[in-house]
């Protein structure tokens, strides 16, 4: 007996297998049972030690992980290895939708299973997520403890899973997800296996939260770094814009600076859509300036970014940029700052223009009233900064009607020759440097047509009383034009013929004759013809070519040929009543001058 006991103790010390222990104690059932129990305890202890060692290894591996996706893959791989199942997988909780979704798998082959979502309370995993307690089953398809749903059963069936064990991932009372180990054949899960999976889940939950926190911290640091860089960039832009304003730069400089800072094209338009400045690419699509909100916030419209330039609650224009897909928050603030600076510059420009217009109006009023000394006028004129010297002669143009849009529609050449402009006695008066009133009138004709104002041009006149009288004549001429139904047109006194002479304070008869008959007189002089005589005979005969031919002793066809030549020189409408009267008066004046 003692020998058998010594043999059993030796075998136990040498970690002999159970069958050897049974053979050594065949004669003593009690000793054999006791030896086998000791052996089972030793095996369980070793298994537990191995599991603990594995958990330590897992903890070490998870502690070194930094990528959230890599952590989850490690967790499911270790769960499958430790529990010894066919498949392991992990779902994460989606607080927004109130369910869990498949996030990582190991051993899975079904695409539908890998995309599965589990509502709370549905299936084994949904029950774990709802109760925060572990559940396991040797035969999930036949286990009626769980609420089966078609999507879950279909995905589980496609994966071929039968035995499933799930345990919650919880950190400080907060539910994170569920860790599963499953088999494709029936198998029971021991409490030790459930406990082991729970320990792994606890490690996994802590690691997931820590990695998430580390990732969020890194993202926050990146954002902080980007924000710091953005602040420096914005500060440089602010300094650039401030330098432009302080140095007296205009909106062109702002557009160019913005284009350079952001590498974009820039277009600035005024409140009505007229382009004021552009920089960057020469060709750009039509700009959606009218769609920018009044708030002054940058808005994405199609492929462009648009922001309104407002001041004192008034929209002065809009900045439109393009050639860039997305703008960072810092860059968006730079554009909005540029819009503010642009609004200030536009406001300064308008205030300066208003002051200039008021100053011009004061000088103009003194000029037209004849109260300004010409010597003092030259000094005041130079202070206006329009031209370096006072022009010797000007053409006077009086615009009557709604003249608010006249100045904006003047052509560039006419703008360059504009000496003074402003309101006077309810009209808009323009003083244009030069001596060619008909040319000025022709240039103003399109402005009259587009605005509906009536414009009379007289002169040229020198400064002083002559200019006062030229203005008075233009004012009378405008009144005559309106009475004759010629509103929305531009004309000189000669354009109105006899009616123009009536409104004149002093008549230059030769100039009037030249205006009406100059082309015919020149033709006769150059070719030795007498078209003037034919005209006199034609009107004396009551505009009858036959009677005129009799009076001239020539064939009627010859008279008609001469009349055709006169039409080529005077225009098609010279025989109409109004023009015919002007021609007859000019003929009488010409005859009087020739004696």
Q: Average of pLDDT values for 392-412?
A: 83
Q: What is the pLDDT of residue 149?
A: 94
Radius of gyration of the chain (CA): 51
Mean pLDDT of 402-422: 79
Homologous superfamily of 248-352: GAF domain (3.30.450.40)
Task: Place 224 in a pLDDT band, splitting at 50, 70 and 90.
Answer: very low
The per-residue pLDDT for range 536-549, each reduced to its tens digit, is: 887 777 788 888 78
Q: What is the per-residue pLDDT for 393? A: 86
Token output for 43: 């095996």
Q: What would the two tokens of residue 245 be?
A: 């304003």
In this prediction, what percent of the chain has a pLDDT beyond 70? 69
Nearest Cα to 338, choosing from 302, 306, 312, 293? 306
pLDDT value at 226 more than 50: no
Instruction: Give the model's confidence band at 167: pLDDT under 50 very low, under 70 low, under 90 confident, else very high.
Output: very high
Question: At the topology level of CATH, where does 383-503 sit?
Answer: Alpha-Beta Plaits (3.30.70)
Asked if residues 363 and 372 have their Cβ atoms less than 8 Å apart, the reply is: yes
Q: What is the pLDDT of residue 156?
A: 94
274-327 tens-digit pLDDT? 777 778 765 665 656 555 556 667 777 777 778 777 776 677 777 777 777 777
What is the pLDDT, as a whole number, of residue 230? 44
CATH architecture of 510-594: Orthogonal Bundle (1.10)
Smallest CA-to-CA distance from 569 within 537, 539, 535, 528 is with: 535
What is the C-alpha to C-alpha distance for residues 161 and 184, in angstroms, rounded to an integer? 4
In which residue are the tokens 């609420």 written? 147
Are 211 and 68 contacting, i.e. CB atoms less than 8 angstroms apart? yes
Predicted local distance difference test score (pLDDT) of residue 227: 41
Q: Between 161 and 470, where is the model more confident? A: 161
Inform me whether the pLDDT recorded for 492 exceeds 80.
yes
Q: Give DSSP secondary structure letters for 476-529.
A: HHHHHHHHTT-TT-EE-GGGGTHHHHHT-SS--HHHHHHHHHHHHHHHHHHHT-
In this prediction, residue 229 carries a pLDDT of 41
Q: Residue 141, Cβ neighbours under 10 Å: how many? A: 13
What is the residue extent of each domain of the chain? 2-47, 65-215, 248-352, 383-503, 510-594
pTM confidence score: 0.39
- Confidence bin at 531 (pLDDT 50/70/90): confident
Q: What confidence score (pLDDT) does residue 406 get?
A: 81
| pLDDT at residue 178 greater than cutoff 70 | yes
Say if residue 43's pLDDT is above 60.
no
Note the pLDDT of residue 305: 78
pLDDT at 56 over 50: no
- Superfamily of the domain at 65-215: GAF domain (3.30.450.40)
pLDDT of residue 575: 80
Cα(515)–Cα(560) distance, integer angstroms: 24
* pLDDT (0 to 100) of residue 220: 47
SS3 content of the chain, % helix, strand, coil (to 5): 55, 20, 25
Distance CA(197)–CA(181), nearest Å, equals 8
pLDDT of the residue at 34:
61
With a pLDDT cut of 90, the percent of the chain lying above it is: 15
Strands 99-106, 418-424: pairing is unpaired
- Residue 148 has what pLDDT? 94
Q: Are 65-215 and 248-352 the same fold in CATH?
A: yes
Give the chain's length.
595
Cβ atoms of 265 and 321 within 8 Å: the answer is yes
**Average model confidence (pLDDT) across the chain:** 75
pLDDT for the residue 154: 94
* Predicted local distance difference test score (pLDDT) of residue 452: 86
Decide: 344 and 284 in contact? Cβ < 8 Å: no
Q: How confident is the model at residue 163 (pLDDT cuts 50, 70, 90)?
A: very high
96-127 pLDDT, tens digit per residue, is 899 999 988 999 999 999 999 999 999 999 99
Mean pLDDT along residues 469-479: 84
Which neighbouring-strand residues pair with 269?
A: 275, 318
Both ends of the chain: CA-CA distance in Å? 175
pLDDT in tens, 231-250: 455 556 666 666 666 556 67
CA distances (Å), 417 to each of 388, 434, 451, in order? Answer: 12, 8, 21
| Phi, psi of 94, deg, nearest 5 | -110, 100
| Beta bridge partner(s), residue 179 | 90, 167
- Return the closest-CA partner of residue 368 out of 340, 389, 343, 398: 398
- Do 489 and 454 contact (CB within 8 A), yes or no? yes
**Banded pLDDT at 52 (limits 50, 70, 90):** very low
């Amino acid at each position: 007996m003692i020998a058998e006991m010594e043999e059993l103790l030796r075998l136990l010390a040498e970690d002999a297998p159970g069958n050897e222990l049974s053979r050594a104690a065949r004669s003593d059932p009690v000793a054999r049972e006791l030896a086998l129990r000791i052996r089972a305890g030793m095996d369980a202890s070793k298994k537990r030690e191995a599991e603990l060692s594995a958990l330590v290894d897992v903890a070490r591996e998870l502690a070194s992980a930094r990528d959230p996706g890599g952590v989850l893959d490690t967790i499911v791989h270790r769960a499958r290895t430790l529990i010894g199942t066919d498949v392991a997988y992990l779902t994460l909780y989606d607080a927004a939708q109130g369910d869990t979704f498949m996030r990582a798998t190991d051993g899975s082959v079904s695409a539908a299973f890998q995309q599965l979502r589990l509502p709370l309370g549905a299936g084994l995993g949904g029950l774990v997520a709802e109760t925060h307690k572990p559940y396991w089953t040797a035969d999930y398809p036949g286990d009626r403890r769980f609420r089966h749903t078609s999507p879950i059963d279909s995905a589980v069936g496609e994966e071929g899973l039968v035995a499933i064990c799930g345990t919650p991932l919880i950190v400080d009372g907060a539910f994170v997800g569920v860790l599963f180990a499953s088999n494709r054949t029936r198998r029971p899960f021991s409490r030790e296996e459930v406990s082991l999976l729970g320990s792994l889940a606890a490690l996994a939950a802590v690691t997931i939260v820590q990695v998430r926190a580390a990732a969020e911290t890194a993202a926050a640091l990146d954002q902080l770094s980007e924000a710091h860089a953005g602040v420096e960039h914005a500060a440089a832009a602010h300094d650039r814009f401030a330098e432009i304003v302080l140095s007296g730069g205009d909106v062109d400089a702002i557009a160019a600076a913005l284009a350079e800072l952001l590498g974009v094209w820039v277009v600035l338009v005024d409140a009505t859509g007229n382009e004021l400045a552009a920089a960057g690419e020469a060709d750009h699509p039509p700009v959606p300036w009218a769609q920018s909100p009044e708030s002054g916030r940058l808005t994405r419209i199609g492929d462009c970014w648009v922001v309104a330039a407002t001041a004192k609650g008034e929209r002065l224009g809009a900045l439109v940029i393009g050639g860039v897909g997305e703008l960072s928050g810092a860059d968006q603030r730079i554009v909005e700052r540029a819009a503010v600076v642009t609004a200030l510059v536009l406001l300064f420009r308008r205030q300066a223009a208003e002051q200039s217009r008021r100053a011009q109006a004061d000088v103009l009023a003194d000029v037209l009233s004849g109260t300004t000394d010409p010597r003092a006028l030259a000094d005041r004129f130079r202070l206006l900064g329009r031209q370096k010297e006072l022009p010797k002669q000007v053409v006077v143009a009086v615009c009557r009607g709604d003249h608010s849009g006249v100045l904006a529609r003047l052509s560039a050449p006419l703008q360059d020759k504009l000496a003074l402009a402003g309101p006077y006695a309810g009209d808009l008066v323009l003083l244009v440097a030069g001596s060619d009133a008909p040319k000025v009138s022709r240039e103003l004709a399109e402005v009259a047509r587009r605005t509906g104002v009536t414009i009379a041009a007289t002169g040229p006149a020198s400064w002083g009383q002559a200019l006062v009288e030229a203005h008075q004549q233009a004012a009378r001429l405008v009144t005559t034009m309106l009475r004759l139904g010629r509103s929305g047109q531009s004309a000189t006194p000669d354009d109105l013929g006899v009616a123009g002479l009536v409104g004149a304070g002093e008549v230059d008869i030769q100039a009037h004759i030249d205006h009406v008959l100059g082309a015919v007189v020149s033709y006769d002089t150059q070719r030795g013809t007498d078209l003037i005589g034919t005209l006199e005979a034609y009107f004396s005969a009551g505009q009858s070519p036959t009677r005129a031919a009799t009076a001239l002793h020539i064939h009627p066809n010859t008279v008609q040929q001469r009349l055709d030549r006169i039409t080529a020189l005077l225009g098609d409408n010279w025989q109409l009543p109004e023009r015919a009267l002007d021609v007859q008066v000019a003929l009488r004046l010409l005859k009087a001058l020739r004696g």
